[in-house]
Amino acid sequence: MRLAQNVVLFARVLRASGIPIGADKTVDAVRAMPLTGLERREDWHATLCALFLTRHEQQAIFDEAFDRFWRDPGLEERMRAALLPKVEGRTPRSEAGGRLAEALAPSRAAPPPRESPPEVTVDTTLTFSASERLRGVDFEKMTSQEWDQARELVARLRLPVEDVRTRRMRAARHGGTVDLLATLRAMGRSGGEVTRIERRERSLRAPPLVILCDISGSMHRYTRMFLHFAHALERSRPRVSTLLFGTRLTNVTRPLRDRDVDEALARVAACVPDWAGGTRIAECLREFNRRWARRLLAQNATVLLVTDGLERDDVGLLAAEMRHLERSAHRVVWLNPLLRYAGFTPVASGIAAMRPHVDAFLPMHNVASLADLAKELS
């Protein structure tokens, strides 16, 4: 009975860590554990691994959770009592962080219950929620706690972009075009008699979305938060491509597709050598137009250009590459954190060269501005 309870608790820990485990897998694990043997720890690991895991990237989280959950608490307590002095104070924070630490935290012993305080009724007519206040806080001025809360809000944002008609056709019962080949095939199956006129219509598909994000030193804080938004877009809609540029252009579409956002951003940081460095917008746009535009900007693609526009190189080259980008894309939306200032005017040479070649010029400095972006693209 105690073993079954521990297996259920372990399944809850894995589920809270991001590994999808249903009740059927938990029941199978409870039934299979006595059959596979309880003498060796390796047999436990192999059995639960075979029943609970469905993807290769879940292996690292499973191994760490298994090592921390299936251990002898009495042995650990005796070792600590023998090696460490008894000092009253706060318990040091565990070095292991992330979702696993949060999932294991509820499994610890709960403090003794205390008497509940008397219920107090507060009039909230002229107050507002903390999340509403957080929507207007600048990313640059957020505390660590506000930053974590903003990440959760940004991860829930979506872009309601409507599907567009493509040149490809699909079968439809009430389509406007007669499908001659399908009709002839149906006649062949029915002995040459026309039993039905097959029809077709143009298929609908979500248009591509291309994100060009500046990772220079002046954009460092805003880029980190926008990548959380880009990760949510990668998980919620098809055909999203993300490229980062500073002094060079780097395609981070594949690393950003990881299910866990922390793992995805760690992989992105590992493959970008010029993070929080200088910026060469013109050269990076030139490389994008020559190498990536033809394959990524087809079928009414929308480009999200995230940069402050502070260019130090040739402004004439920057204007020419922006003109090329405008002709290649269906729509170019420029997100600039400098628009957070009420008296902002595009007087810088780089901003003045880029401004005429974009379809929308929007701010990007807080959660509310990202929500407005969803309305702009809808």
Domain ranges of the chain: 2-78, 166-205, 209-377
Higher model confidence: residue 21 or residue 214? 214
Higher model confidence: residue 100 or residue 355? 355
Question: Do 245 and 211 form a contact (C-beta atoms < 8 A)?
Answer: no
Q: Rounded to the nearest 5°, which phi and psi values hold at 308?
A: -90, -10
Residue showing tokens 């075009």 = 177
pTM score, whole prediction: 0.59
pLDDT at 268 over 60: yes
- Which residues are registered as beta bridge partners of 211? 242, 304
Mean pLDDT for 294-319 is 89
Cα–Cα distances in angstroms (integers) from residue 325 to residues 313, 336, 372, in the given order: 18, 17, 24
Query: If you average pLDDT over each of 145-149, 337-341, 352-356, 365-369, which comes out highest?
Result: 352-356
Mean pLDDT for 211-226 is 89
Query: If you average pLDDT over each of 150-159, 265-274, 341-350, which comes out highest?
Result: 265-274
Options 3.40.50.410, 3.40.50.280, 3.40.50.80, 3.60.150.10; CATH for 209-377 is 3.40.50.410
pLDDT at 265 over 50: yes
Phi-psi domain of 78 (left: phi exceeds 0; alpha: psi -120 through 50; beta: other) = alpha
